[in-house]
Amino acid sequence: MYHPDLDPLSLRECLAEVPGIRLQPDRDQREFKLSYIVDPLEWPGTREVRRRLKEYGLSASLIFSHHEFLDLLPIRASKGRAIQYLARRWGFKMDEVLVAGDSGNDADMLRSGALGVVVKNHSSELRYLRGRERICFAEASYARGILEGIERHGFLPDPVVESQTEDQ
């Protein structure tokens, strides 16, 4: 379970003394993701975690979501970069890609340059994206919010309504 951009053993050692965080169970760990549960009243925040990583000579992308989860990923890994890569690979312009999210783990993807939708039931971690040109905040939650975003971005052409004939 070693990746040159994510050394889980060193990261665990580095973060062992950070108050208010504890490793999630092994079943929630992945080869390229180290996951913690955060007590928001005790932990010092992402700024302190970044400071500690720098002090130890380590690097990782930090993703704080749902006000209780902290994931550490390889520095070059993110949903946003994955979207950009796939768009290039398949020949899409970012205006032809729509992404939707509801929590902090979607922030990077929403900032990727694609058309973005934040559904009404979003976590407050995404509030700072309000007002960005390519990101709309839906009035509806869940899938209905995504449909609203599709419409507001004009992502799909107007639906074709077939006229009914008397024979039908």
pLDDT band at 168 (very low <50, low <70, confident <90, very high): very low
User: Which stretches of 33-97 are assigned E, i.e. beta strand?
Assistant: 34-38, 61-65, 69-73
Neighbouring-strand partners of residue 3: 6
pLDDT of 120-163, one tens digit each?
A: 999 999 999 999 999 999 999 999 999 999 999 998 876 644 54
What is the pTM for the complete model shown?
Answer: 0.80
Q: Which CATH architecture has domain 8-73?
A: Alpha-Beta Complex (3.90)
pLDDT tens for 68-102 read: 999 999 988 899 999 999 999 999 999 999 999 99
Residue-wise over 15-35: b if at least 16 C-beta within 10 A, else e?
beebeebeebeeeeeeeebbb
pLDDT at residue 157 in the model: 75
Domains 8-73 and 79-152 share a fold: no
Residue 1's pLDDT is: 43
The structural domains of the chain, with segments of one domain joined by +, span 8-73, 79-152
CATH class of 79-152: alpha beta
Q: For residue range 13-42, list pLDDT tens digits in order.
A: 999 999 999 999 999 999 889 999 999 999
- The secondary structure of the chain in percent helix, strand, coil, rounded to multiples of 5, reads 35, 20, 45
**CB 117 within 8 Å of CB 153:** yes
CA-nearest of 57, 65, 1, 83 to 34 is 1
